[in-house]
Amino acid sequence: MSRRSEWKQVEKAMHSSGKMGRTVAEKETMPEKACGSCQHFSENAKEGDGRGTCGILKMGSDLNSTPPKLLMEGDVGLIRFLNMDGANCSHYVRMKMIDKDGGETSDPAYRRSHRQMENF
């Protein structure tokens, strides 16, 4: 697989929901099984938009297909946003603690974007 086709696959995975024109309210609504509340989600420290990668699923996975396509082999983790729905993921494990105020723990695995996680 060429590098160009790999990046096309990344772009397709990021926009696989097909809802490019969502409103702000829809983007800030957190689903019951949000990727951001999963233990396997690792938020990107560089970006502040809630983007991150899954520690289990790899690029090429598609949670929106029926049945979901779950790939666990590869080098690049599946790029997800913290408010994406992970209801179809069989590897979803809800975190026991989410550090919402930034002062409970210094472990980056428990830090999440504050505004989006207020309702958890």
Whether 111 contacts 102, CB under 8 Å? yes
Distance in angstroms (rounded) separating the CA atoms of residues 64 and 87: 9
Q: In what order do the strands lie in the sheet with 77-81?
A: 41-43, 51-58, 77-81
DSSP string, 86-105: -TT-TT--B-S--BSSS-S-
* In-domain check, residue 115: no
* In-domain check, residue 24: no
Say which residues have a Cβ less than 8 Å from residue 93's Cβ, sequence separation at least 6: 38, 39, 40
Q: In DSSP terms, which residues pair with 69 in a beta bridge? A: 62
The domain of 49 spans 3-16+33-110
* In-domain check, residue 79: yes
Q: Is pLDDT of 40 > 60?
A: yes
Q: At 59, which amino acid appears?
A: M
* In-domain check, residue 39: yes
Distance in angstroms (rounded) separating the CA atoms of residues 114 and 117: 5
Distance in angstroms (rounded) separating the CA atoms of residues 102 and 51: 18
Number of Cβ atoms within 10 Å of the Cβ of 76: 13
Note the pLDDT tens digit of each residue in 58-103.
988 888 888 999 999 988 889 888 888 899 999 999 988 766 665 5
* Prediction pTM value: 0.67
Total of domains in the chain: 1
* In-domain check, residue 23: no
Note the pLDDT tens digit of each residue in 58-69.
988 888 888 999
Whether 101 contacts 114, CB under 8 Å? yes
